[in-house]
Amino acid sequence: MISFPNAKINLGLHITSKRKDGYHEIETCMVPIPLYDALEMILDPKKMSWNSTGTPIPGEQKDNLILKAYQLIKKDFPDIPTLSIHLHKHIPMGAGLGGGSADGAFALKLMNSLFELHLDDFFLEEYAEQLGSDCPFFIENTPKIARGRGEVLEPIPIDLKGTWIVLINPGIHVGTKEAYADVTPGAPKVNLAEILQDRKRWKAELVNDFEPSIFKNHPEIAQIKGKMYEAGAFYSAMSGSGSSVFGLFDFQQTGLDFKSRYFRFESLL
């Protein structure tokens, strides 16, 4: 059985407070985009196996969200068989696009079907929350305002059908410590849900709180955003804590002097 975990972008991102447990409270709108990994799971009663192709995946297997997802399901359903799992990694990692979170969430959904567990989305989201803050979003995989650590989700109607997205990943690694270093948490100055309903307000008012400090440290990322607007984007921003930058266009844009990926919002929205 095979599925195709997709990436996401953030429309606005506010860091509202820092919690006692060290995590931050956020408010953002996450939107799925048509950029995919490929995840295959096959029943293999002999042994558990894992391999990947495409972009190399750093770190140890014990930290892999797909394998963690299997262990979560195995804990509550000990009779499930072992699997042969293959991931073809295409979504850039550490780029603010949620690729790893998507892989973990889609692994849960794939196992739900493969093992005929009949778990509804509520329970899958509970499992996903144990994998990571962004993971629950990918269960229903529709535009949502996310609050808390990112796991408190509220549906919001966002109509981007027919809009073109240009996505540029400059390959700059922005660590979590760096991303939060110069951010001062505070209540948003604007109502995110209200702004999202009026596209004319996005450029001036739909902000990502990570951008000022990250742009200061990496001016080349700010340059990419500027080029998006020069090319006619009606909105551009860094996604998540970066370093990927996206631009939204009403037309197909092919003139940017960057290595870009072009998509049209049709298949997911």
Catalytic site residue from 8, 89, 109, 227? 8
Of 125-134, 160-169, 205-214, 252-261, the one with minimum mean pLDDT is 252-261
260 in Cβ contact with 227 (< 8 Å): no
Q: What is the mean pLDDT of residues 261-266?
A: 59
* Catalytic-residue membership of 8: yes
Segment 96-120, tens digit of pLDDT: 999 999 999 999 999 999 999 999 9
Segment 189-201, tens digit of pLDDT: 889 999 999 999 9
Structure tokens at 13: 């991102």
Catalytic site residue from 37, 103, 134, 209? 134
**pLDDT higher than 80, residue 83:** yes
**pLDDT higher than 70, residue 253:** no
Phi and psi based region of residue 254 (left: phi greater than 0; alpha: psi -120 to 50; beta: remaining): alpha
122 in Cβ contact with 114 (< 8 Å): no
Q: How many other CB atoms are there within 10 angstroms of residue 183's CB atom?
A: 18
Answer with the residue of higher pLDDT: 58 or 206. Answer: 206
SS3 category, 104: helix
The reply to whether the predicted model has a pTM over 0.85 is yes
Of 14-23, 38-47, 65-74, 260-269, the one with minimum mean pLDDT is 260-269
Domains 2-155 and 164-264 share a fold: no
Alpha-carbon span 166 to 169, nearest angstrom: 10
pLDDT score at 209: 93
Segment 219-241, tens digit of pLDDT: 999 999 999 999 899 999 999 98
- CATH match for 164-264 among 3.40.1190.20, 3.30.70.890, 3.30.540.10, 3.40.50.2000: 3.30.70.890
Which amino acid belongs to residue 46? K
Per the listing, tokens 């596209």 go with 199
Where does 2-155 sit in CATH, by number?
Answer: 3.30.230.10
For the chain, the structural domain boundaries read: 2-155, 164-264
Spell out where 72-119 has E strands.
83-89
Question: What integer best gives the mean pLDDT of the chain?
Answer: 90
pLDDT score at 264: 65
Segment 40-71, tens digit of pLDDT: 999 998 899 999 999 888 888 888 999 999 99
pLDDT score at 129: 95
